[in-house]
Structure formats: structure tokens, C-alpha cells
Amino acid sequence: MNIIGPDYVVFGVDDLAAGSQFLTDYGLEDHGNGLFTALDGTGVIIRQADDPSLPKWTQPTSNRLRKTVYGVADKVTLEAIDRELAKDREVKTLADGSIESVDDMGFTLGFQVTVRRKLDLPGEQINAPGAPQRGFNVNGVNSSFDAPLPKPRTLSHVVYFVPDTDKAESFYIKRLGFRLSDRFVGMGPFLRPAGCIEHHTVFFIQTPPHMLGCEHFTFHMGGPTEVLLAGQNMQRKGYESYWGPGRHVMGSNWFWYFNSPFGCHIEYDADMDLHDDNWVPRVEDAKADRSQIFLFNWRNTWAPNGPDGQP
């Protein structure tokens, strides 16, 4: 099935104003109707927690994610998913032509012809001995301190806490055609859909049943410098860093995670590995040093009398 990746994540929140401010500060565009988008049109939708339009969450957990909407290549794929899932569960066709069902963990899934727009933007380049990229007289850093902050480019992946990673993996592979990229033993699998060449768009983490829910979601940035600039901006605005900045092993992506008002974490990432069907999945023990190749400790400034007055 030609599923491309997540188009939207949908949350039910108690404080719409706080959620809106957070997503705007994160760098998404506010469309004024609860929709916040990255540069390619993918994004986050927030609604009041008691909004009747939201799918119900019937599990006894604090999960605030109400729906993950996957983008597919075409209507033919949409129809194929409808037929497959209708074999053993209800599939609703919504007014906008998308379909909605529930996976084996109880998470509501939507499927629609993707809203993703093709981006034509430069990525971060480096000059390394033997392999220069930027060349002569092209600066790697914008020296203007009032330069606009980098914007998230596209919704990357969603990570779930689930009590049975084998069951979750089986559903996404056997019913939706996902591929296994890598696996952490005792923790869970990294999966990508057939229409995506990125290392993963979903990762399942084994947890007790009371933790069932969204652990984090993330957007791709244009490179590690953009991850650091965007994260630094969040720090300066008073948001609490959860993990990072650093670089993962599985997927190789740079990362920086923050606490969010959505009952989960949100991440900036960049430079994820790409795979085709020739890739042989790795199986690694779930140890801290296999999750990150390095991890920075952020600080305000190196100068004894810096502009912010911090040592």
C-alpha cells in the first residue's frame, strides 16, 4: 500500500490558547482554526478536549492524542486500505473523503490523499577536507542576529507507548504494508510505510498498559544547525528541554525534545537515514548508548560577561 507518512496528528487539549502559543513558538503556521502546519502542509490539529468531533478515547490512560492521519499517494490506495481494514473492523468514510478506523492498540487512524507539498529548499551543506560543498565565499552561518528562525519542514514520525509491541508491529506490517527498519530488543520496532524511504515514521515502545499513548511526535528541520537554532529559541522562550540536543543511532537523526502541553513530548529532528527494500534491519539491545551517539549539555554562553549576564 502506497502510504507516504503522517499528514496530521490530532490532539484534544484543555487550554487551546496555551496549545496554540506553543505550536506557534515551535515554528508552525497558525491557520486560525486549530490547524498548525509545517512548510509542506503537514501539521498538528488541536481541539478542545470535549469537542464532539474528536474520536473518543476509551482507554483508562491520560493519552491526549486523538487521531493520527496518514497521507497516501492516491485514491486507489485509499480504497485498498478501506477494503483491507473492513475485513474485521469498522471503517468510516468522512465528509472530506478520508477514511477512519482503529488499529489493534485502540488508536484512531485516518487516511487521506496526502496534503504534502513537494519542497524545493536547500539543505544544510558542509565544507570538509576532500569534499567541499559550499565552495568559495558562501558563508555557512547567517551573521545577522535578526535573521528569521528556521521553520519545520514536514511532519516526520510519531512514537507510541504500547503494552504489546509485537501486536502493534504485526498490524502495521501485515495490514498496512509497513516495513521494519530496525529493532531495539525489549523495547520495540522502528517502522516505515511502503511509500516512504525514511528510516521510520512510527516507533513503538513497550510499556505497562496504563502508559498507553503518544510519547512524542516530531518535524524535520533543514539540518543540525536548524535543530539547534530552533531549540535554542524554545529554551529562550522558557520551554523545558526534555532530551538533547544530540544525535540518535537508529535513524542517525539529530534531535532535541521538549515538553509540550499535549501530554507528550515534541521533537525537532534532521538528517534521518533513507532506506530502500535492500536494507537489512538491525537488532540492538535497548541501552542508552545505542539510542544516542552523543548528547550535548546546553548552556547560555561561554563568555564570563556575556550579553545575557550569565557566567
Q: Calculate mean pLDDT across residues 8-36.
A: 97
* Cell 483491507 sits on residue: 84
CA–CA separation, 56 and 89 (whole Å): 16
> Can you give the pTM of this predicted structure?
0.93
Please answer whether residues 109 and 70 qualify as being in contact, where contact means their C-beta atoms are separated by less than 8 angstroms: yes
**Average model confidence (pLDDT) for the chain?**
92
CA-wise closest residue to 60 among 260, 213, 264 = 213
DSSP letter assigned to residue 291: H
pLDDT of residue 311: 43
pLDDT of residue 247: 92
Per residue in 157-173, pLDDT tens?
A: 999 999 999 999 999 99
Per residue in 115-140, pLDDT tens?
A: 999 999 998 998 989 988 888 898 88
Fold of 3-117+151-295: 2,3-Dihydroxybiphenyl 1,2-Dioxygenase; domain 1 (3.10.180)
pLDDT of residue 280: 97
DSSP letter assigned to residue 14: S
Domain ranges within the chain, ordered by starting residue: 3-117+151-295
pLDDT band at 302 (very low <50, low <70, confident <90, very high): low
Name the phi and psi angles at 237, rounded to 5. Answer: -80, 0
pLDDT band at 291 (very low <50, low <70, confident <90, very high): confident
* pLDDT at 58 > cutoff 90: no
DSSP letter assigned to residue 274: B
